[in-house]
């Protein structure tokens, strides 16, 4: 993968001058490349990873991981039915998987009830969905490569030759 | 009244000891003073060590090191560098390069023999040469971008000169040597019949050039003791394992000392080293990529802050000049530590040539490194 993308995947907020330094390129070259990646849709966007447990006033967030079994359609395979599911705003991520189920749907809502409603009213009744299994996320240890628990401490001496 | 050895008494204590105590007394310090990788030893290497203990391999090995390990290293050197060493007579497994350095000095030096050491250099070269009874000539490489200048070497060579110590990529400067410079140095070394102690422990961390081991140069193999190991490349400093290769006569003499003082390198670590030699390449490549990215960040930022810093070609150190601040390195480092909680090592700890410099280790997590550089910027603004 392109080195610029590797750096941004790690830290989407890395300033241009630091990117330029790390890549041994000029800032304008980096900006140009970045714009190209954005235009071509290689870069989908920039998000922030938030640890909500650290906030007192944050609205509660419940994450449901729902395994969905669907019947593929003659022309569109899994894609059409998947779209019907992932177009719902509650769906944060949606993946087609191999194994016992077909779709893994990551749903976010502020109460358990909202997720239950979503499954009962929107997901399960769909014509080609014949089974769902919901899991509720209890604790995040690590997300997007970032530790939510403190990482293993550094055992090294602070100064060594 | 206890009277100590005069040689030991005459050695200056390590230049970083006071500083270490100061750092330990403070909280929230980002240390750029660490001379070892921040990565954990790759799991498959740790597993090999653990398995050897589970299997009961907790006894001595042959003095020279396990034949499997010696064979693996010789095969590796042959494959990668076309360097041919006999695993039975021309390699010794040591407890880190530091032990090997001490053995080499003691195996070669007679009273009055002269050792030439380019500086700034790793902290152990001078003391080990002195303890072996050598006269030491230090050559300051600062005016030559931290590379040993062949003309200056020629001037320094006297009839008593016996050994030159080379270290590339270098701790503390990050400098490495290219082929043409090595060839010029080789010519002098051959002409004056010198022996080279070549510490190439950072060879795997060479970023822009191809690392050229000294013994690969014509006629240098028979007069070079080549040091390398796994501490830096595979992040296993605490396992204390390295090796020396060289002519049978010298390796034999080093083995003689080693068998009386160390007996053998730690067995567990030898098992880890076999795994590192045979299967460590991927882990080494991925760590190298990360170091290079950090190097570019550090180099760009330090120069932008006006701390003139040559681009380090290898290892994980930058050695910027702090001359423009008007502070000596010790004062600079103490102030930086107390005001911004960032630790670096004063250049003076590494001998002549470090009087206006500090050593910054970028064996630190990328985000931490960015934060530390930000703090250095604030510190410079406060001066």
In chain B, where are the structural domains located?
6-41+282-382, 57-280
Do residues A137 and A72 share a domain? yes
- A141-156 burial by CB neighbour count: b if 16+ within 10 A, else e? eeeeeeeeeeeeeeeb
E-only strand ranges, chain B: 30-31, 91-94, 114-119, 135-140, 161-167, 195-199, 224-229, 242-245, 317-318, 342-343, 345-346, 358-361
Among candidates A20, A22, A156 on the partner chain, residue whose Cβ is nearest the Cβ of B36: A156
Put the strands of the sheet holding B345-346 in their side by side order: B317-318, B358-361, B345-346
- Say which CATH number the domain at A12 has: 1.10.10
B348: tokens are: 């003076």
> What pLDDT is recorded for position A133?
95
| A47-66 tens-digit pLDDT | 999 998 888 876 778 999 99
Instruction: Please answer whether residues B350 and B330 qualify as being in contact, where contact means their C-beta atoms are separated by less than 8 angstroms.
Output: no
Nearest to A161 by CA among B97, B331, B138: B97
Q: Is B349 on the interface with A (CB under 8 A)?
A: yes
Search chain A and give the residue with CA nearest B291: A22
CA–CA distance, B299 with B315 (Å, rounded to integer):
13
Considering the entire predicted model, what is its pTM? 0.87
Partners of residue B35 in chain A, C-beta under 8 Å: 160-161
Residues of A with CB under 8 A from a CB of B: 3, 7, 10-11, 17-18, 20-24, 152, 154, 156-161
Do residues A75 and A103 share a domain? yes
- Say which CATH number the domain at A126 has: 3.30.70.920
- DSSP class of A90: T
Do residues A71 and A107 share a domain? yes
- Counting one residue from A and one from B, how many pairs have CB atoms under 8 Å apart? 61
Q: For domain B57-280, which architecture applies?
A: 3-Layer(aba) Sandwich (3.40)
The pLDDT-based confidence of A10 (bands split at 50, 70, 90) is confident
Partners of residue A23 in chain B, C-beta under 8 Å: 296
Q: How far is A51 from chain B, CA to nearest CA, in Å?
A: 18
User: Does A123 map to a domain?
Assistant: yes
> What pLDDT is recorded for position A90?
92
Question: How crowded is residue A123: how many other Cβ atoms within 10 Å of its Cβ?
Answer: 23
Look at B24 and A158 and tell me if their CB atoms are within 8 Å. yes
> What pLDDT is recorded for position A153?
76
Instruction: Please answer whether residues A68 and A129 qualify as being in contact, where contact means their C-beta atoms are separated by less than 8 angstroms.
Output: yes
DSSP string, B174-223: -----HHHHHHHHHHHHHTT-EEEEE-TTTT-B-SSPP--GGGSTTTGGG
Instruction: Please answer whether residues B113 and B134 qualify as being in contact, where contact means their C-beta atoms are separated by less than 8 angstroms.
Output: yes
Among candidates A23, A154, A158 on the partner chain, residue whose Cβ is nearest the Cβ of B33: A158
Do residues A31 and A61 share a domain? no
Do residues A61 and A14 share a domain? no
The kind and range of the H/E element at B253 are helix B248-261
Q: How far is B193 from chain A, CA to nearest CA, in Å?
A: 32
Count of domains observed in chain A: 2
Q: How far is B343 from chain A, CA to nearest CA, in Å?
A: 8
Strands B161-167 and B242-245, sheet pairing: unpaired
Do residues A23 and A66 share a domain? no
CA–CA distance, B223 with B140 (Å, rounded to integer):
24
> What pLDDT is recorded for position B367?
87
Do residues A27 and A72 share a domain? no
Look at B38 and A156 and tell me if their CB atoms are within 8 Å. yes
Look at A160 and B300 and tell me if their CB atoms are within 8 Å. no
Please state, for a pLDDT cut of 70, what percent of chain A lies above it: 99
Q: Cα–Cα–Cα angle for A80, A81, A82, nearest 5°?
A: 90
Q: Is B22 on the interface with A (CB under 8 A)?
A: no
Put the strands of the sheet holding B242-245 in their side by side order: B91-94, B242-245, B224-229, B195-199, B161-167, B114-119, B135-140
CA–CA distance, B75 with B277 (Å, rounded to integer):
9
Q: Is B2 on the interface with A (CB under 8 A)?
A: no
Do residues A62 and A85 share a domain? yes
SS3 B87: coil
Please give the residue range of the domain that contains residue A12.
3-39
User: Does A89 map to a domain?
Assistant: yes
B57 contacts: CB under 8 Å, gap ≥ 6? B267, B268, B271
Nearest to B142 by CA among B369, B332, B308: B308
Partners of residue A154 in chain B, C-beta under 8 Å: 38
| A67-125 tens-digit pLDDT | 999 999 998 899 999 999 999 999 999 999 999 999 999 999 989 999 999 999 999 99
Q: Which residue has the tokens 């640890």?
A: A51
Q: Which 297-326 residues of chain B touch chain A by CB within 8 A?
A: 297, 299-301, 304
B110 contacts: CB under 8 Å, gap ≥ 6? B133
Partners of residue B349 in chain A, C-beta under 8 Å: 161
The pLDDT-based confidence of A154 (bands split at 50, 70, 90) is confident
CA–CA distance, B316 with B202 (Å, rounded to integer):
9
User: Does A16 map to a domain?
Assistant: yes
Look at B16 and A161 and tell me if their CB atoms are within 8 Å. yes
CA–CA distance, B163 with A156 (Å, rounded to integer):
34
Q: How far is B129 from chain A, CA to nearest CA, in Å?
A: 18
Among candidates B20, B33, B300 on the partner chain, residue whose Cβ is nearest the Cβ of A21: B300
> What pLDDT is recorded for position B55?
98
Distances (CA, A) of A131 to A69, A118, B191: 5, 14, 83
Instruction: Please answer whether residues B48 and B274 qualify as being in contact, where contact means their C-beta atoms are separated by less than 8 angstroms.
Output: yes
> What pLDDT is recorded for position B31?
94
Question: How crowded is residue A4: how many other Cβ atoms within 10 Å of its Cβ?
Answer: 20
Do residues A35 and A73 share a domain? no
ipTM of the complex: 0.84
Do residues A63 and A31 share a domain? no
Q: Which residue has the tokens 């390590």?
A: B14
* pLDDT tens-digit profile, chain B (383 residues): 999 999 999 998 877 777 888 888 888 899 999 999 999 999 999 999 999 999 999 999 999 999 999 999 999 999 999 999 999 999 999 999 999 999 999 999 999 999 999 999 999 999 999 999 999 999 999 999 999 999 999 999 999 999 999 999 999 999 999 999 999 999 999 999 999 999 999 999 999 999 999 999 999 999 999 999 989 999 999 999 999 999 999 999 999 999 999 999 999 999 999 999 999 999 999 999 999 999 999 999 999 999 999 999 999 999 999 999 999 999 999 999 999 999 999 999 999 999 999 999 999 998 899 999 999 999 999 99
Do residues A28 and A75 share a domain? no
User: Does A47 map to a domain?
Assistant: no
- DSSP class of B10: H
B126: tokens are: 């001078």
- Cβ-based burial of B136 (10 A; exposed 0-12, middle 13-18, buried ≥19): middle
Query: Which CATH number is associated with domain B6-41+282-382?
Result: 3.90.1150.10
Question: How crowded is residue B7: how many other Cβ atoms within 10 Å of its Cβ?
Answer: 12
């Amino acid at each position: 993968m392109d080195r610029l993308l590797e750096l941004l995947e790690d830290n989407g907020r890395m300033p241009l001058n630091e990117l330029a330094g790390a890549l041994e390129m000029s800032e304008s070259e980096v900006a140009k490349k970045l714009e190209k990646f954005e235009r071509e849709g290689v870069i989908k966007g920039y998000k922030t990873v938030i640890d909500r447990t650290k906030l007192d006033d944050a609205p509660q967030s419940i994450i449901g991981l729902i395994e969905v079994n669907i019947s593929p359609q003659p022309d569109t395979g899994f894609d059409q039915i998947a779209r019907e599911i992932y177009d719902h705003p509650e769906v944060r991520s949606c993946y087609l998987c191999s194994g016992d189920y077909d779709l893994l749907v990551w749903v976010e809502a502020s109460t358990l009830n909202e997720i239950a409603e979503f499954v009962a009213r929107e997901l399960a009744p769909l014509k080609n969905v014949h089974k769902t299994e919901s899991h509720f996320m209890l604790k995040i240890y690590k997300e997007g490569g970032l530790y939510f628990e403190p990482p293993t401490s550094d055992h090294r001496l602070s100064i060594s030759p | 009244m206890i009277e100590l050895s005069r040689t030991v008494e005459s050695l200056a204590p390590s230049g970083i000891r006071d500083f270490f105590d100061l750092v330990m007394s403070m909280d929230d310090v980002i240390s750029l003073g660490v001379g070892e990788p921040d990565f954990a030893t790759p799991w498959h290497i740790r597993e090999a060590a653990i398995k050897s203990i589970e299997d009961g391999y907790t006894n001595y090995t042959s003095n020279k090191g396990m034949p499997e390990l010696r064979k693996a290293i010789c095969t590796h050197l042959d494959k990668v560098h076309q360097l041919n060493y006999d695993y039975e007579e021309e390699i010794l497994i040591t407890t880190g390069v530091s032990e090997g350095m001490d053995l080499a000095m003691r195996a070669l030096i007679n009273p009055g023999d002269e050792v030439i050491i380019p500086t700034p250099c790793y902290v152990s070269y001078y003391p080990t040469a002195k303890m072996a009874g050598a006269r030491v000539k230090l050559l300051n490489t600062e005016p030559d971008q931290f590379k040993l200048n062949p003309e200056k070497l020629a001037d320094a060579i006297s009839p008593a000169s016996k050994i030159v110590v080379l270290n590339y990529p270098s701790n503390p400067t990050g400098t490495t040597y290219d082929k043409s410079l090595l060839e010029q140095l080789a010519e002098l070394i051959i002409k004056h019949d010198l022996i080279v102690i070549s510490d190439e422990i950072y060879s795997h961390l060479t970023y822009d050039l191809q690392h050229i081991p000294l013994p690969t140069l014509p006629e240098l193999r028979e007069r070079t003791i080549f040091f390398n190991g796994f501490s830096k490349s595979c992040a296993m400093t605490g396992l204390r394992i390295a090796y020396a290769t060289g002519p049978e006569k010298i390796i034999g003499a080093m083995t003689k000392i080693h068998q009386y003082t160390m007996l053998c390198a730690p067995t567990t670590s030898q098992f880890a080293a076999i795994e590192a030699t045979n299967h460590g390449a991927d882990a080494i490549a991925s760590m190298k990529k990360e170091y290079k990215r950090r190097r570019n960040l550090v180099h760009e930022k330090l120069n932008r802050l006006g701390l003139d810093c040559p681009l380090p070609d290898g290892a994980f150190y930058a050695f910027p000049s702090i001359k423009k601040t008007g502070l000596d390195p010790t004062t600079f480092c103490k102030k930086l530590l107390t005001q911004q909680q960032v630790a670096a090592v004063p250049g003076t700890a590494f001998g002549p040539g470090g009087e206006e410099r500090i050593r910054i280790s970028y064996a630190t997590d990328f985000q931490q490194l960015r934060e530390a550089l930000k703090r250095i910027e604030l510190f410079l603004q406060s001066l």
